[in-house]
Amino acid sequence: MERKIPLVMATQHPDNARHPYWQENSFINTIEEVEECYRTYKDLGCDEYMWDWEGKFVDEAIIDKLFRDYLDFFNQNQLGRDCFLTFRIPNIWQERAYRIARCFMGILTAQDLAKELNFYEMPVFELILPMTDSAKKLIYIQKTFRKTFELKQKVFRGKKSPSHFGYIEMIPLIEGVDILAKGGKILHDYLALHKDEFGFTLKYIRPFIARSDPALNSGLVPAVLAAKLALSKYYKFEKETGVKIYPIIGAGSLPFRGGLTPLRVSEFVKEYPGIRTVTIQSSFRYDFNFKDVIKGIIKLKQILPETKPKILSIEEEVKINVVSKIFSQYYRQTIEKIAEPINEIASFVPPRRERVLHIGLFGYPRGIGKKKLPRAIPFTAALYSLGIPPELIGTGRGLRQARKEGLLGILEKNYLYLKEDLKTAGNYLNKENLSLLARINPAWKAIQKDVRFIEEYLGESLGPRTAEEYIHRNHASNIFFLWRENKDLQEDIVKTALIRKSLG
């Protein structure tokens, strides 16, 4: 490979409970994100930073400011060669295309600035397309970028840029359980379409596996299994085509959103062998001891390149899809019935970044069936704040049916840390709140069944064990009664988040 493949990508996911180590406020505005970007390279040793245009405001002068404020650092660490700034763009099929034009022009003018400073000439050369569900959309973005480049060349005076400045690489971010299962086909289609459109074959692709939204939409077990299926299909694609694959996975700290913390690096990498880049989100960086964060990042860099992917047989793929559907049906039918209180409590989850409107001109809603849901972080935060970790929902009933159908073996073989994840989440269960909720809405009774079946599976009771976990339970009780009396929940929500070291 001619380029360096980043191993650790810092992101702007707003899941931190605490304030960053470099400021006193837990809210990070768009101006402060410029400093954050620099610090992830210099202080933490991350080699990539996701500059997120999807669903949030951004500082559009990011590259100008990095070069202006930290010139000495970038003289020694060239952006686009030694460290990387990767834009996640809005999905224009879900969100109006107002901001993507500004994004494209920012990249193109940054090329001119970098060249003028005698820096590496393409400081940004990759785009992440969220919710990729077809190869045609990847090609469309590339063609649109090329047209923007050509328009810039035509309209604005000055020295003409070389033609390769008009080519942008694409990272397909695939987010749904069903779409992840088709990830191999998307890559095959993209390879063929790309050759037709641009006249050359790709040397590599960095497919991006989501963990949060698949869990939000289908539950814990289907999200984990979907990631395993996608990894297998991607490496089959590599074997069939000769195109190198460098998969990325997006993971938060809590098991529901990925289970990657500075203290669980080895387990996470064993769970997802073959991953070549991992995201470390805000809670990873700010909610744990700084020395542990540094150690975790160093360890990730050491062991990620050494892992060997697990290739699944056709028979295994079929069985995994069956297991996934079992767990998904129980999760989805329950979440749809309890969406209202989740939304109400999520409205009190404190913001950590400058997000745009959730729906309307600049955003798009998440949801199950006819019910709208919050984004994955406030969704997870709301349920943990109630003492009902989302990892448990649908999982107990799924385990019981999987056992009856003789599928428990294939599940445990492909979800190595299932029991550990359930125990970790189960420590934050508030059974009293669950009983009270079940009196209000019978849909919560199904979750009581989940708890009972999980306890049977684990051979132990769920609930708090340490002093901090009991305090978490107490705050969750406060949240329940404050919610019932229409009072402010934010203070107790933050206190529970600080204990579990993640907002959501």
Q: Which two tokens stand for residue 422?
A: 């359930």
Separation between Cα atoms, residue 339 and residue 357, nearest integer Å: 19
Q: Return the half-sphere exposure (C-beta side, CA atoms, 13 A cut-off) of residue 352.
A: 25
- Secondary-structure percent of the chain, ordered helix, strand, coil, rounded to 5: 55, 10, 35
Separation between Cα atoms, residue 129 and residue 205, nearest integer Å: 13
Q: Return the half-sphere exposure (C-beta side, CA atoms, 13 A cut-off) of residue 262.
A: 20
Write the DSSP symbol of residue 48: E
* Ranges of each domain in the chain: 8-306, 314-500
**Residue ranges in the chain whose pLDDT is less than 70:** 1, 96-97, 157-158, 357-367, 370
Separation between Cα atoms, residue 251 and residue 259, nearest integer Å: 7
Tens of pLDDT, residue by residue over 16-40, are: 999 999 999 999 999 999 999 999 9
User: Token pair 């190595």 is at which residue?
Assistant: 416
CA nearest neighbour of 112 among 82, 144, 157: 157
Q: What number of H helices and E strands is found in the chain? A: 22, 12
Separation between Cα atoms, residue 227 and residue 248, nearest integer Å: 10
273 Cα distance to chain centroid: 17
Q: What are phi and psi of 49, to 5 degrees?
A: -135, 130
CA nearest neighbour of 137 among 85, 213, 189: 189
Q: What local confidence, expressed as pLDDT, does residue 378 receive?
A: 97
What residues contact 404, with CB distance under 8 A and at least 6 apart? none
Q: Which two tokens stand for residue 64?
A: 């100008």
What residues contact 172, with CB distance under 8 A and at least 6 apart? 129, 132, 138, 183, 186, 187, 190, 205, 207, 208
Q: Which two tokens stand for residue 224?
A: 């984990």
Write the DSSP symbol of residue 94: T
Handedness of CA 452, 457, 461, 463 (dihedral sign): negative
3-state secondary structure (DSSP) of residue 154: helix
Separation between Cα atoms, residue 330 and residue 443, nearest integer Å: 11
Q: Which pTM was predicted? A: 0.96
CB 202 within 8 A of CB 191: yes
CA nearest neighbour of 131 among 97, 101, 94: 94
Q: Does domain 8-306 have CATH number 3.20.20.60?
A: yes
Q: What are phi and psi of 236, to 5 degrees?
A: -65, -40
Residue 85: burial class (beta carbons within 10 Å; 0-12, 13-18, 19+):
buried
Write the DSSP symbol of residue 201: -
What residues contact 139, with CB distance under 8 A and at least 6 apart? 190, 193, 194, 197
CB 365 within 8 A of CB 241: no
> b vs e for 468-489, b when ≥16 Cβ sit within 10 Å of the residue's Cβ?
ebeebbbbbbbbbebbeeeeeb
Separation between Cα atoms, residue 108 and residue 151, nearest integer Å: 11
**CB atoms < 10 A from the CB of 360, how many?**
11
CA nearest neighbour of 256 among 380, 426, 420, 419: 380
Separation between Cα atoms, residue 130 and residue 491, nearest integer Å: 33
CB 40 within 8 A of CB 286: no
Torsion of the alpha carbons at 101, 49, 261 and 320, rounded to the nearest 10: 50
